[in-house]
Amino acid sequence: MYLTRKFHIEGTQQLERLSRASAELWNDTCKWYWRTARRQDHWLSKTAMRQWHCKGHDVLPSQTAQEVAEQFYEAVGSWHKGDRKGNPPKRCDKTYNVLRWTYQGVMLRDDGVLRLSTKRGEDSILIDWPVDTEPRTVEIGKRPGGFVVRAQYEAEPIDRTTGNKVAGIDLGEKHLAAVFTGDRGAFTISGGELRALRHYQNKLKAKLDAKIGRKEPGSNRWKKLVRSKQKQLDHIKGKITDLLHKLSRKVVEMLLERRVSAIAIGDTRGIRDRIDFGSQMNQRLHQWAYGEFARMIEYKAKLAGVTVEKIDEAYTSQKCPQCGYRQKPSGRDYTCSECGFHGHRDVVGAANIRRKYVGEHSNESTRLPGVMASPSGVRFHPHLSCNSRSRRKTLGI
């Protein structure tokens, strides 16, 4: 399994120079790609572009220069794959561009420092690396106050399971996850902090957009506001990612404590295409990070040796887990009008997701008692751990 490590490093003159050179190469690649298409009715191939612009670059090492062309053609491919509904990659005025090294240009030294290759005669780029495994690819991108490193490396799963229980997970907006383990044990992960961050993000964006709209495009004040907007929104985005990482790790740790070895997660793909509950609710649901949260739970669970499977969650919140009668619940509790079963609405969904998985893999009885105990709740606090290994300080040398 491949994971991506992201961390900030301080800026150096060398990184500034290389990042600007990468941007100039991107601008040339973009300019000549579209100019050739317009004047000669011919689409330049990636191989031809590499031979023409990237080979023997004055500043960038050969592989890093070729990766600039790779980035551009990835953007073109994404545009074609999306049926050309989005904007094509025609921006030819970048100031900074991402630097990328493949495994041939990356070496992990014995002292835990990554060495990234540069042009002959220049000092290599050295970065303190907090993982024992050598990364396959490394990207360094310009950010306010420095640079951001993203490195992809291979991680071997370590089986930490101690039992054979099955858990069902129902993803939601009010509660990010409701978890049921089959032994009357259930807990919920509150989504209140995420909703608060999203609310602040929307208000801030509207406020800054209104200010930007009153300025002359291209003026100094306009540029300053645009930079401020990007910086503030990036900060909130980082908070949201940190929150999702910490809560998903908390879910996996709690499942391991409950001796769970298999997880069934409700598959919510396509839900955005089927909703229309008014502008405010639609905005909340379209900003619901269910896909990212499910992905984080999945890869963290697999690293701990837990089996993960996605289950169709159709009608799981409407079906009584005791008698099977189906009805739409009202409020946060589910009460069956046929048998009188009573329980938390989201936990009922998790129990039915678990039932679907268990029914496919074993003969275990999934019938529940008439009253389901209230689940314990877990809220976010900033001191939750998002990684089991302590993060070492990273410095660009």
Predicted confidence (pLDDT) per residue in 40-76, tens digit: 888 888 888 888 777 777 889 888 999 999 999 998 8
| pLDDT tens-digit map of 87-119 | 788 888 889 999 999 999 999 999 999 999 999
Rounded to a whole number, what is the largest CA-CA distance in the chain?
80
Confidence band of 367 (pLDDT split at 50, 70, 90): low
Residues 110, 31, single domain; the answer is: yes
Q: Which of 154, 188, 204 is the last residue of a domain?
A: 154
Residues 289, 341, single domain; the answer is: yes
- What is the reported pLDDT for 377? 67
Residues 219, 329, single domain; the answer is: yes
Closest CA to 264 of 176, 166, 332, 365: 166
Number of helices (H), then strands (E), belonging to the chain: the values are 8, 15
Distance CA 333, CA 331 (A): 6
With tokens 């041939």, the residue in question is 104
Distance CA 157, CA 9 (A): 28
The pair phi, psi for residue 361, each rounded to 5°, is -120, -10
Residue type, 326: R
Domain count, the chain: 2
- What is the reported pLDDT for 288? 63
Supply the Cα-derived Rg of the chain in whole angstroms: 25
Token pair, residue 261, equals: 């070895």
Q: Quick check: is 272 in a domain? A: yes
- What is the reported pLDDT for 389? 47
| pLDDT tens-digit map of 146-201 | 999 999 999 889 999 988 999 999 998 888 999 999 876 789 998 889 989 998 99
Token pair, residue 59, equals: 């500043």
Distance CA 21, CA 75 (A): 19
- CA distances to 71, 136, 166, 228, 275 from 5, in Å: 20, 11, 30, 26, 35
277 pLDDT higher than 60: no
Distance CA 165, CA 276 (A): 37
Q: Which of 131, 154, 177 is the last residue of a domain?
A: 154
- What is the reported pLDDT for 324? 86
Neighbour tally for 359: CB within 10 Å: 11
Q: For the ranges 223-232, 291-300, 331-340, 356-365, which has the lowest average pLDDT?
A: 356-365
Residues 149, 174, single domain; the answer is: no
Residues 311, 346, single domain; the answer is: yes
368 three-state secondary structure:
coil
- The domain in which residue 39 lies consists of 2-154
Distance CA 193, CA 199 (A): 10
- Alpha helices (runs of H) in 5-156, residue ranges in sequence order: 13-40, 46-49, 62-81
Confidence band of 143 (pLDDT split at 50, 70, 90): confident
Q: Quick check: is 383 in a domain? A: no
The pair phi, psi for residue 188, each rounded to 5°, is -125, 150
- Hey, which bits of the chain come out as E strands? 2-9, 99-101, 106-108, 113-116, 125-128, 137-143, 146-154, 165-171, 175-180, 186-190, 260-267, 307-312, 333-335, 342-344, 376-378
Residues 82, 108, single domain; the answer is: yes
Residues 211, 100, single domain; the answer is: no
**Bridge pairing between strands 175-180 and 186-190:** antiparallel
Residues 352, 215, single domain; the answer is: yes
Q: Quick check: is 354 in a domain? A: yes
Q: Quick check: is 384 in a domain? A: no
- What is the reported pLDDT for 26? 93
Residues 101, 243, single domain; the answer is: no
- What is the reported pLDDT for 15? 95
Q: What is the pTM of this model?
A: 0.79
Distance CA 317, CA 337 (A): 14
Residues 265, 373, single domain; the answer is: yes
382 pLDDT higher than 90: no
Q: Quick check: is 109 in a domain? A: yes
| pLDDT tens-digit map of 281-339 | 556 555 667 788 999 999 999 999 999 999 988 888 888 888 888 998 888 888 888 88
The better pLDDT of the pair 378, 156 is held by 156
Token pair, residue 378, equals: 């877990």
3-class SS letters over 79-112: HHHCCCCCCCCCCCCCCCCCEEECHHHEEECCCC
Q: Quick check: is 298 in a domain? A: yes
With tokens 């031979």, the residue in question is 51
- What is the reported pLDDT for 85? 57
Residues 131, 258, single domain; the answer is: no
Q: Quick check: is 159 in a domain? A: no
Q: Which of 154, 186, 210 is the last residue of a domain?
A: 154
How confident is the prediction for the chain on average, in pLDDT?
84
Q: Quick check: is 238 in a domain? A: yes
Residues 131, 173, single domain; the answer is: no
Neighbour tally for 14: CB within 10 Å: 15
210 pLDDT higher than 90: yes
